[in-house]
Structure 1
């Protein structure tokens, strides 16, 4: 501090006054800190002056001139969210992992509204920066980068561009995945010459990271990884190669699938054609093991080794291997076969991997008909019901809702409960209203119906999935309030959880309304 600074520094006069005592101290002189002293008592006022001048005197001690350079201007993006929404976000950030889904929902609403948190929230957001949802950078990323630079930290874009050749296994995998997202070809080209020099765990992690931007150009490298000395590297390549339907790997699997499954067709004398699925179980072989098709210990002990190989081959095969006949015929014959379990689940896994529309629709149609007793030779069992639920889950969200909505209207309680465990992460407004009406119908029914409703524990998760409107939150609260006294804890606990989550989600939306002034409370 130079002489000019000391001249305006009130620390020494105030310290001298304090040593003299409040009775003998001269009155304080006007200065920049005098407005901070509001005490009327002379002794209290003197102590307040001493504290203020002391803080002012010590501020900046030991800092060089470069530390006092002004920060770059902060350019705000968008308008600030309502105070209630800001208060809500602060509460969610401080609640811990249990509120992570709600934080994601908050940022999705902010992004859709073009709103951002106020500056007083930046410190809390910086503390949780690495765990913020994917929508957060669009809302507050630029401002958090500004704050990071002002504090001498690396902004997000710098951290994402970290050198993938250095750091822990997790850091290197993340950095390489970011490299792949920016430049898939360049990333693989940089990896190939140094790959064999890396340790096994690093090689495995980097192969897994090739899932980002996976393309046919990656096939030669991944094919070579099938012969890597490390089992984890081989497994990583075996998981990625089925995603390349034109690869040599896919060709090998297609040939094996065609050798294992064929359809024999015969014309009947009175017209029409009969079809029979002929299954040839594969044998263990080193070539199969190289491609990741091996028998596990459980299958070997249970005597189902070759059936397990069949299921694994079908799961990895490209669906064009079965193009000779329509998907519906393959699935229907699979359900009738003595090898229904490995054949159906193998084909199901292939359909799930590719999301082929024709196969997923056929899966949903045939399993529904099978459970309803409309497929000759297939019994109505809980296993078939489970297959139906899995097949419905492959459909687009709108189609899933349309089909399950029809089941709800038909009051097919057993089936609805089975399929509600899967399906879209979030329901539409119309489907949510219909589902709540159905829940009201079931809860008003018999004790047996309520026990069936509570048994599978699917009700507890519905709060995260239902449309979070005020009307739906009120309907859920009414369901809980009308639950008969003495009802078992299982259903009451689930409905209470549903109601609490749905009410919170509805409140978050109310917070973003302009008339909302306090967290969760709308005025007017």
Structure 2
């Protein structure tokens, strides 16, 4: 059988077009396909003619990491504690060091498969890594090359990567570049590019984002309004602040404050234009849905934190708390985040599901120093609640939080063994390595519980590993 005949038989089916003279047509077609496919590959002739030489790699400007640090990177890429790779990349970038040439291909392959790491990888591959990425199409995310050309003629992901880099260099110039061609962009391209403005987001982006808020494509409108809501002095936030103040008022009294709550009766055009989604989520009433969204787009500092306690005396407790938590996260209001986290901690465990907000997500929006301050307050009030929150935070803790969690672990070992084990793991991954001696002491005096013994010992071992890693990457 020829290749063409085999393909025709496979497409039409052997019942309709059986190969001639074969007692088992299906077997014959499959056998022919296997043999002919190999023959076609073996017989491929590369194109003839001169092949242009690749452009020479420019000289590297930064020094390579030490041999010990390179060995550790190799171990991470081999699967030994891969969860610590982001920290290795961050430490190398902070010390203005780059990956040695022999490990560049492996790191680029890893970044190809793990997109969230790509930004950190770009910071440590240096000129040689970018040059190498330019030779392999799958690594185009790392081969920025000529940013202007990449933005003009690249694929959609390459254009977005180029725009983000242009924003890092000069946000205003990058915005002008985007605005020039915006009317001619397809809906898919507008949706892919508008989110790049979160890099270097500032007041100068407001006019463009307001116009994009009326875009014909829903994804563009939503992203533009989300970015506008992150600008505390934008006109959108001002309008939402005024609407929120009209819906929720707080009045102080001798026996405590009182809230007056007047949710919107309809989702009017101004609310829709401000980004309020008219259709409620399943199980949520329309008025509650609209109110929580409006509150989430207004800085919570417009109300005193005492309003949180007053909310419990209303019929709109979950709605108010959900909205204020969203606003505290959006505007990174550490005072409100702390007050909400402490309110969550004071609430009995069985009733916490009714609060309608996640303290973990709330804390994740804060800067690490503010996050640590909130964790310390919660740990001081309730070691179990504090350890619960700390175990779910993905930032590296300061020394004070690390010490507080280490001190809490022995008290949690008996009543909350699973929580203690989870928190111990996070001590190893997120704790301050300078406290590894305290972790060693904890591991040496754990209760007679094999699972906890292993968890505490592993935490101490990981802290030592991270401390050595930091020493190897010291500038």
Task: Name the TM-score, length of structure 2 as normaliser.
Answer: 0.71
Report the counterpart of residue 417 of structure 2 in structure 1.
450
Report the counterpart of residue 280 of structure 1 in structure 2.
262
Change (3 A) 1:215 1:72: closer
1:316 aligns with 2:286: no
Report the counterpart of residue 522 of structure 1 in structure 2.
none
Paired residues, number: 420
Report the counterpart of residue 464 of structure 1 in structure 2.
429
| Equivalence map 1:335-354=2 (5 Å) | 335-354=312-331
From 324, 331, 347, the counterpart of 2:308: 331
Residue 249 of structure 2: SS of its match in structure 1?
strand
Question: Whole-Å Cα distance in 2 between the matches of residues 451 and 190 of structure 1?
Answer: 53
Report the counterpart of residue 129 of structure 2 in structure 1.
144
Question: Whole-Å Cα distance in 2 between the matches of residues 111 and 405 of structure 1?
Answer: 29
1:304 aligns with 2:291: no
Residue 314 of structure 1: SS of its match in structure 2?
helix
Report the counterpart of residue 36 of structure 2 in structure 1.
none
Q: 1:128 offset after TM fit, Å?
A: 5.0
Q: Is the 8 A contact 2:156 2:192 kept in 1?
A: yes
Q: Is the 8 A contact 2:167 2:197 kept in 1?
A: yes
Question: Whole-Å Cα distance in 1 between the matches of residues 473 and 232 of structure 2?
Answer: 46
Question: Whole-Å Cα distance in 1 between the matches of residues 207 and 153 of structure 2?
Answer: 26
1:355 aligns with 2:332: yes
Alignment gaps of 5+ in structure 1: 1-61, 267-271, 515-524
Q: Is the 8 A contact 1:331 1:362 kept in 2?
A: no
Residue 327 of structure 1: SS of its match in structure 2?
coil
Report the counterpart of residue 68 of structure 2 in structure 1.
84
Report the counterpart of residue 106 of structure 1 in structure 2.
88
Change (3 A) 1:369 1:292: closer
1:382 aligns with 2:352: yes
Question: Whole-Å Cα distance in 1 between the matches of residues 132 and 300 of structure 2?
Answer: 51
Question: Whole-Å Cα distance in 1 between the matches of residues 54 and 212 of structure 2?
Answer: 55
Q: 1:340 offset after TM fit, Å?
A: 1.5
Q: 1:279 offset after TM fit, Å?
A: 0.8
Change (3 A) 1:372 1:314: closer
Q: Is the 8 A contact 2:69 2:472 kept in 1?
A: yes
Q: 1:277 offset after TM fit, Å?
A: 1.2
CA RMSD of aligned residues (A): 4.4
Report the counterpart of residue 368 of structure 1 in structure 2.
342
From 234, 239, 259, the counterpart of 2:221: 234
Q: 1:280 offset after TM fit, Å?
A: 0.8
Post-superposition Cα deviations, 1:407-431, rounded to whole Å, max 9, x if no partner, equal 6567x34322332244461122343
From 420, 435, 438, the counterpart of 2:390: 420
Q: Is the 8 A contact 2:150 2:158 kept in 1?
A: no
Post-superposition Cα deviations, 1:321-380, rounded to whole Å, max 9, x if no partner, equal x3xxx5224333234322121112212211221123xxx32452476368558xxxx999
Q: 1:435 offset after TM fit, Å?
A: 2.2
Report the counterpart of residue 45 of structure 2 in structure 1.
none
Change (3 A) 1:225 1:387: closer
1:253 aligns with 2:240: yes
Question: Whole-Å Cα distance in 2 between the matches of residues 115 and 379 of structure 1?
Answer: 47
Change (3 A) 1:223 1:399: closer
Report the counterpart of residue 466 of structure 2 in structure 1.
505
Change (3 A) 1:381 1:471: same
Residue 433 of structure 2: SS of its match in structure 1?
coil
1:203 aligns with 2:186: no
Change (3 A) 1:513 1:72: closer
Q: Is the 8 A contact 2:168 2:200 kept in 1?
A: yes
Question: Whole-Å Cα distance in 1 between the matches of residues 176 and 52 of structure 2?
Answer: 42
Structure number with higher relative contact order (C-alpha < 8 Å, ≥ 6 residues apart): 1
Q: 1:133 offset after TM fit, Å?
A: 6.0
Residue 397 of structure 2: SS of its match in structure 1?
coil
Change (3 A) 1:193 1:391: closer
Alignment gaps of 5+ in structure 2: 1-47
Question: Whole-Å Cα distance in 2 between the matches of residues 188 and 510 of structure 1?
Answer: 41
Question: Whole-Å Cα distance in 1 between the matches of residues 367 and 318 of structure 2?
Answer: 25
Question: Whole-Å Cα distance in 2 between the matches of residues 124 and 387 of structure 1?
Answer: 38
Q: Is the 8 A contact 1:82 1:513 kept in 2?
A: no
Specify the structure having the higher radius of gyration (Cα): 1
Post-superposition Cα deviations, 1:254-305, rounded to whole Å, max 9, x if no partner, equal 2321221123456xxxxx4764211111123351233321244534xx3521
Q: 1:186 offset after TM fit, Å?
A: 3.6
Q: Is the 8 A contact 1:260 1:282 kept in 2?
A: yes
